[in-house]
């Protein structure tokens, strides 16, 4: 339902190897595969937005971020879910896992701007900076 709400009438892609209660927007395409396989074979236009919410592990979220950054349109945004578990009990795989570690890592990247909605489970917006790099 969220996918339909944020992408009504625009080209969009969803990826999940085992979807549950799937609703696809009018111009949406769904791919029943892992995100690793999706990114390895994606040959479409660079996306404006990529939403990462999978497996609740740092390793997978980090790979998804790197893959998304590779194909993202200049000025595009990556949305990372599960970055603010709030309490230790929410750092288990059935909740946020350890994706919060990626959020911490991205905050330290000099060429990415981040904004985090800290309300549980947390969402981080990440955009590549547009200012020119000046070596130090």
pLDDT in tens, 60-112: 999 999 999 999 998 889 999 899 888 888 888 888 889 999 999 998 888 88
- Average pLDDT estimate for 39-54: 91
Residue 4 has pLDDT above 90, yes or no: no
pTM for the complete prediction? Answer: 0.86
Q: What is the pLDDT of residues 35-45, one digit of tens each?
A: 999 999 999 99
Give the C-alpha separation, 128 to 38, whole Å.
22
How would residue 133 be classed by pLDDT, with cut points 50, 70 and 90?
low
């Amino acid at each position: 339902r969220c996918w339909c709400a944020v992408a009504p009438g625009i080209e969009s892609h969803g990826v999940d190897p085992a979807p549950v209660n799937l609703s696809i927007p009018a111009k949406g395409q769904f791919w029943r595969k892992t995100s690793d396989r999706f990114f390895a074979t994606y040959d479409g236009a660079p996306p404006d937005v990529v939403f990462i919410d999978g497996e609740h592990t740092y390793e997978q979220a980090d790979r998804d971020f790197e893959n998304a950054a590779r194909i993202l349109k200049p000025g595009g945004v990556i949305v990372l879910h599960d970055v603010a578990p709030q309490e230790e009990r929410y750092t288990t795989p059935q909740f946020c896992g350890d994706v919060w570690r990626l959020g911490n890592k991205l905050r330290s990247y000099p060429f990415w701007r981040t904004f985090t909605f800290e309300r549980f489970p947390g969402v981080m917006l990440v955009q590549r900076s547009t200012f020119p790099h000046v070596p130090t």
